[in-house]
Structures are given as structure tokens and as C-alpha cells.
């Protein structure tokens, strides 16, 4: 090994904590634990002399952190590795804590409507478990059901359904977390109201592994909605589509999700899948997903939303009420990345206030046109979260203007009171942008909080702040 803090003595200590079978060393064996889903062209370069440790309990996590604290060894937590900001990539030689063995559903408490879950429980695990209970569900869906609860908590995961159900921090009542020195915290609980002191639970949500290791989550669960439908509303102009969205949100009928994609993405993705996109008119299509408790409530919502779309100049809306029809529409929405993945060198998840979405999207299109290129727009349009990208040159290389264009996109976002990330997080790829977006006083407070929790700076070095 290189001269670093991952010493042979430290590895022996880790083996004593979790057992030698659950400590992995060697570049070839640890390579599978180094990256998440961020584009290869812009992902942070991983340090390779790492050790992977797989604890099976909070107490074992505590033992790992006590050893790391004593050695001042960096620690990076790896969950489902579905992130898109390089957050779980070790940029210095580190102890990588894999939460894959912390995978127990501790309790489904129907009386209090909460689930108690270890950090390594995946979203799919939870949804499959809730199927065993009549009428229970969990609404937050970040897009990949392989995402783990601990990761969803510390990245404050969102997704398309945020327009109705919000993001993860809205649904987490409590956590078990281990501080960098090995101390175990039991934060929050099953309480709906808890006004005792600072809310450290909420502080850890979105902290991206820089403050502590979350090992258990207490999560609100909900009654299952039994009636669903999907509307495709075609418009000629993106401005009219966005105005319809704000009218819908004011109407009292809140869709589960409202998705926008460039027309060609809907059409070409459907073609790729052997389907046909039925909305032939217009240039700006909304995919409006509805979910209600009863068929009557669904009917009332469909009728009201259809009227709003018509008043805003929509072409005749298409309605999918059968399960197969809905599944085909959602498949087109979810598979667009397969269509465009080979042309993308960098991607973004900026967010602006909902009323500015159309201006922001049009501004992005004008900006890329100045460089003689394009960008793919996919938006959770009813919560202001806009995904777009920078494209490779035709020969497959990164364009020389990529960095300049990226910063112009961010400046455009700031001009609409936006943020560089609505859901993916800062991780290790937007550290410079966080420093640019935040006021110096706010940034200083963040760093001060980091120092209080992690005085030796061992937790996820390079995430949120420069090394």
C-alpha cells in the first residue's frame, strides 16, 4: 500500500470488528465499490488503495468508526450506488463502509403508520414488503428501486412524485446514526410532534455522508391509493404547458407527477420500444400522472385537469385508464435515457421556482444554440426540477466549450432564483458550484457544523467542500 492511513494494523482491527470474511482488500476486489452512476466523463477519480468493510449492525459500524477515528482514516459510506453526483466515490484512500448487510426490515408498525428499516434496505425491498399488508404504500420514488434507505436519507432523495408527496426529509421521523468517533445517536422516533431542541434528524438528511453514518431509518408509510390514470396533454408552446401546470396546482387537484420531455424524446423513445407516441400534434407534451383513493375522485380530477389544459390551449388530451396503457406511457418516460445516453457527456438537475420553468427551459435552448449544439430537456415540471445535458461532439469527444457552457447554464439558473441541484446533490462534482451559489456566511456555518460533527475531517472527504 501507499503511505496512507489504511494500514495493515487498521485492517486487522476492522477484521476484529466484522470478521475477516467481511473485509475486502486489494485493488481488483475493491474496484466494484468505487463509483456510482455519474457519467464516466465527469466522475471523480477514485482512490484505489481502499478497504471495503461490510458491517451487519449499528454496533459494528460504531466499532469501525472508532478504529477510523483513532487512525484518522477517511470513511466513505456506500449504499446502492445509484447516485448521480459521485458522492460514494472515495477520492482519497479510505475505509468504504458498504451497507449491503444492514438489510433488515425491523418493523412495519401499522398502528403508527411507520416502517423501521435498516440503512441497506432497498426501495424495492420496502415496496415488496408493503404488498404483504393490505392498503399500505410508500410514495417517494427517486427512479431506481435499487436505492437504499440510508442513501435516500442522506441525499434527501426526491423524484417525479415530489410535486404531491415531497422529498425524503418530509417522511423521515427518526434515525439511528453513528458519529465519526463511534458514538451512537438515537434521533427522533415515531412521534408526529417533537419540539425538544435542535432537530438533528433533519440536519443529517441531505448531509451526503459528511457528518455521520445512518444505520436505521424510521419512515412514514401511507394508505394505498387504488385508482390511477395518466393524461398526455399536448401543447404547441412550452409556455402554455407551464401555465397549465401552475393553474392545475392552484386548482386543488394535485397530480402524483407532471413530467415534460422534449417531443422528440417521447416520439423516438416510443419508436425504440416498438411503440407509437399517440400525441401527434404539438411541440410540448405533458405526462400527467394521477392517483386517487376512489374512482370518483379520479374522475373528478381528470375532468378538472382536462378543462384546465383546454383553457390553456392544449390540443385534445389523451387518456390512459387501463393498466397496460399506463404502463406503456410510463415505460416511454422511464426509458428515454437509453435513447440518449451515448450522446451525453455531462448532465444536470437544476431547479427553479415553478413559475419560471418555461423561461428557464427556453433560455437553455437559446444558450446551447449559441454554441451550435443541442440539449435534451426532461423536467419534473410541477416542482421546478429541470434535467438537461451537454452533448458530445459528433466524433464522440468532449466539446472545448463544455465548461464555459456549463457555467453559463448555472448562471441562467441563478438568474431565476434557482439551485444547481434539485435532487442529485452536490457530491464531489458540484463542490465549486456550491461555493458559488451560497453566501459566504451560510457556507461558513455549513463548514462549522461539519467541524463540530467531524473534527478530524474523516467523513467523506471531498464531498460538499474542497479537500
Between CA 268 and CA 174 the distance in angstroms is 44
Question: H/E element holding 267?
Answer: helix 263-272
Between CA 180 and CA 54 the distance in angstroms is 17
For the residues 418-428, what does the mean pLDDT come to? Answer: 96
Q: What are phi and psi of 286, to 5 degrees?
A: -105, 135
CATH assignment of 8-100? Answer: 3.30.43.10
Give residue 105's region: left, alpha or beta (phi > 0; psi -120 to 50): beta
Domain ranges for the chain: 8-100, 105-223, 227-334, 337-437
Has residue 299 got a pLDDT over 90?
yes
Between CA 169 and CA 201 the distance in angstroms is 9
Least confident of 37-51, 75-89, 92-106, 319-333: 319-333
| Closest by CA position to 89, among listed 33, 156, 158 | 33
- Reported residue count of the chain is 467
pLDDT category, 414, cuts 50, 70, 90? very high
Between CA 372 and CA 171 the distance in angstroms is 44
CB 231 within 8 A of CB 307: no
pLDDT category, 211, cuts 50, 70, 90? very high
CATH assignment of 227-334? Answer: 3.30.70.2190
Tens digits of per-residue pLDDT, 230-249?
Answer: 999 999 999 999 999 999 99
Has residue 401 got a pLDDT over 80?
yes
Query: Looking at the domain 337-437, which fold is it?
Result: Alpha-Beta Plaits (3.30.70)
> Which cell numbers in the block locate residue 378?
426532461
> Which cell numbers in the block locate residue 271?
419508436
Q: What are phi and psi of 385, to 5 degrees?
A: -90, 115
> Which cell numbers in the block locate residue 212?
455521520
Q: Which residue in the block uniquely carries the three cell numbers 437509453?
A: 338
CB 72 within 8 A of CB 5: yes
Q: Which residue in the block uniquely carries the three cell numbers 451560510?
A: 442
For the residues 322-337, what does the mean pLDDT come to? Answer: 88
Structure confidence at residue 2 (pLDDT)? 45
| Closest by CA position to 208, among listed 144, 145, 157 | 157
> Which cell numbers in the block locate residue 303?
375532468
Question: 3-class DSSP state for residue 419?
Answer: strand
Decide if 8-100 and 227-334 have a common fold.
no
CATH 3.30.70.100 describes domain 105-223: no
Between CA 306 and CA 233 the distance in angstroms is 8
CB 213 within 8 A of CB 185: no
Beta sheet of 51-53, edge-to-edge order: 23-24, 51-53, 95-98, 75-78
> Which cell numbers in the block locate residue 337?
435515457
Beta sheet of 318-320, edge-to-edge order: 318-320, 227-235, 284-292, 257-262, 378-380, 385-391, 344-351
Has residue 3 got a pLDDT over 90?
no
Structure confidence at residue 1 (pLDDT)? 36
Rg of the chain over all Cα atoms, to the nearest angstrom: 23
Note the pTM of the prediction, 2 decimals. 0.94
Tens digits of per-residue pLDDT, 344-379?
Answer: 999 999 999 999 999 999 999 999 999 999 999 999
Q: What are phi and psi of 57, to 5 degrees?
A: -160, 165
| Mean pLDDT over the full length of the chain | 95
Between CA 102 and CA 54 the distance in angstroms is 9
Q: What are phi and psi of 173, to 5 degrees?
A: -95, -25
* Beta strands per DSSP E along 340-381: 344-351, 378-380
Amino acid at each position: 500500500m501507499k503511505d496512507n492511513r489504511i494500514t495493515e494494523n487498521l485492517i486487522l482491527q476492522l477484521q476484529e470488528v466484522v470478521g475477516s470474511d467481511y473485509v475486502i482488500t486489494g485493488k481488483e476486489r475493491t474496484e466494484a465499490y468505487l463509483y456510482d452512476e455519474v457519467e464516466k466523463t465527469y466522475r471523480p477519480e477514485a482512490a484505489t488503495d481502499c478497504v471495503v468493510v461490510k458491517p451487519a449492525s449499528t454496533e459494528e459500524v460504531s466499532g469501525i468508526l472508532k478504529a477510523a477515528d483513532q487512525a484518522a482514516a477517511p470513511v466513505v459510506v456506500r449504499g446502492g450506488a445509484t447516485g448521480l453526483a459521485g458522492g460514494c466515490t472515495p477520492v482519497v484512500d479510505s475505509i468504504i463502509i458498504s451497507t449491503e448487510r444492514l438489510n433488515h426490515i425491523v418493523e412495519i408498525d401499522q398502528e403508527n403508520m411507520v416502517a423501521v428499516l435498516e440503512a441497506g434496505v432497498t426501495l424495492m425491498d420496502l415496496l415488496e414488503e408493503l404488498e404483504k399488508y393490505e392498503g399500505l404504500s410508500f410514495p417517494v420514488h427517486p427512479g431506481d428501486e435499487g436505492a437504499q434507505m440510508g442513501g435516500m436519507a442522506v441525499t434527501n432523495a426526491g423524484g417525479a412524485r415530489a410535486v404531491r408527496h415531497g422529498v425524503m426529509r418530509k417522511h423521515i421521523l427518526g434515525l439511528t446514526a453513528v458519529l465519526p468517533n463511534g458514538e451512537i445517536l438515537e434521533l427522533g422516533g415515531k412521534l408526529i410532534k417533537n419540539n425538544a431542541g435542535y432537530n438533528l434528524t433533519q440536519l443529517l438528511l441531505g448531509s451526503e455522508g459528511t457528518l455521520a453514518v445512518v444505520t436505521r431509518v424510521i419512515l412514514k408509510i401511507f394508505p394505498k391509493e387504488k385508482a390511477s390514470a395518466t393524461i398526455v396533454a399536448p401543447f404547441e408552446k412550452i409556455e402554455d404547458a407551464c401555465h397549465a401546470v401552475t393553474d392545475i396546482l392552484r386548482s386543488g387537484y394535485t397530480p402524483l407527477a407532471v413530467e415534460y420531455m422534449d417531443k422528440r424524446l417521447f416520439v423516438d423513445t416510443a419508436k425504440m420500444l416498438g411503440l407509437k407516441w399517440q400525441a401527434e400534434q404539438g411541440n410540448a407534451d405533458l405526462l400527467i400522472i394521477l392517483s386517487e383513493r376512489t374512482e370518483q375522485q379520479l374522475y373528478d380530477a381528470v375532468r378538472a385537469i382536462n378543462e384546465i389544459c383546454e383553457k390553456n390551449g392544449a390540443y385534445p388530451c389523451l387518456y390512459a385508464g387501463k393498466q397496460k396503457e399506463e404502463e406503456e406511457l410510463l415505460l416511454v418516460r422511464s426509458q428515454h435515457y437509453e435513447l440518449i445516453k451515448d450522446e451525453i457527456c455531462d448532465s444536470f438537475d437544476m431547479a427553479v421556482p415553478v413559475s419560471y420553468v418555461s423561461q428557464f427551459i427556453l433560455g437553455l435552448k437559446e444558450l446551447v444554440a449559441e454554441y451550435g449544439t443541442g440539449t435534451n430537456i426532461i423536467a419534473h415540471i410541477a416542482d421546478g426540477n429541470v434535467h438537461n445535458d451537454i452533448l458530445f461532439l459528433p466524433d464522440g469527444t468532449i466539446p472545448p466549450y463544455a465548461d464555459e457552457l456549463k457555467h453559463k447554464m448555472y448562471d441562467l439558473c441563478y438568474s431565476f432564483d434557482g439551485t444547481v441541484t434539485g435532487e442529485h446533490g452536490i457530491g464531489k462534482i458540484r463542490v465549486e458550484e456550491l461555493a458559488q451559489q451560497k453566501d459566504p456566511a451560510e457556507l461558513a456555518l455549513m463548514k462549522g457544523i461539519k467541524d463540530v460533527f467531524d473534527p478530524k475531517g474523516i467523513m467523506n472527504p471531498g464531498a460538499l467542500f474542497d479537500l
